[in-house]
Amino acid sequence: MGLMQGKRAVVFGVANDHSIAWAIARVLRSEGAELALTYVNEAIERRVRPLAGSLDVPLVLPCDVSRDQDIAGVFDVLREQWGALDIVIHSVAFAPREELSGRFVDTSRQGFQVALEASAYSLVAVAREAEPLLADRRGSLLTLTYFGAEKVVAGYNVMGVAKAALEACVRYLAWDLGPRGVRVNAISAGPLRTLSAAGIRGFRDMMHHHAERAPLRRNVTTDEVAAAALYLCSDLASGVTGEVLHVDAGYNVVGM
């Protein structure tokens, strides 16, 4: 039996077969979990449906996390189909491309609002709808963050601020949902070649810099991040909540 046998998980944020969310979906499925996936628009749907088919996942649901009615709709379906839920994966972040170049001080008001709403508040909105289903099974909520939340990463700009807000949300949600047995954690992954990373100016240099300076002298893989997600979502981490687990080849521990 797998670690996730008898568990049910919904994964927000699968964009293509290179995304962290997809790697997490694959490992959860390989360990026996029943899955549901979401997509944000028709273009993403065309990528997600074949991926879902490859894992025999029948539940593929539309959801724009900036719309409360979309989020509620996903959990209405899950309540009807499953009744309860064990795992929610939140791998959602967005900032307008123009805000990821130049100086952070020039961030527009609208760009700031979009980044914080899509990348941080969306976790709160998802958690609110998921709480009743997760509490029935003492479930787990997991999100994805990045080192730019803790230190300045040139070019990451408003996304760094949004990820800092996301990490604070993890702690506050862990406090709120803990009495009902629901755990909330985050993984701070090293730089990975994903669709969202393509919008960050100088990303190739960022990857090279990371590999040179991380204690393991390399970058991590999506499979390594997914393995950490498997741990945090499983009963092996039943006593872990409110944490940010770094999966970055040790880069975060280096000072100079």
Q: How many CB atoms lie within 10 A of CB 72?
A: 14
| Spatial CA neighbour of 156 closest among 196, 209, 188, 108 | 196
What gap in Å lies between CA 216 and CA 142, rounded to an integer? 25
Take residue 90 and report the two structure tokens written for it. Answer: 């939140």
| Spatial CA neighbour of 146 closest among 103, 67, 200 | 200
User: Between the CA of residue 82 and those of 18, 134, 136, 143, what are the distances in Å?
Assistant: 28, 11, 12, 22
Q: What is the DSSP letter of 82?
A: T
**Count of all residues that appear for the chain in the document:** 256
| Spatial CA neighbour of 144 closest among 3, 6, 254, 25 | 25
| Residues designated as active site | 146, 156
Contact 18, 132 (CB under 8 A): no
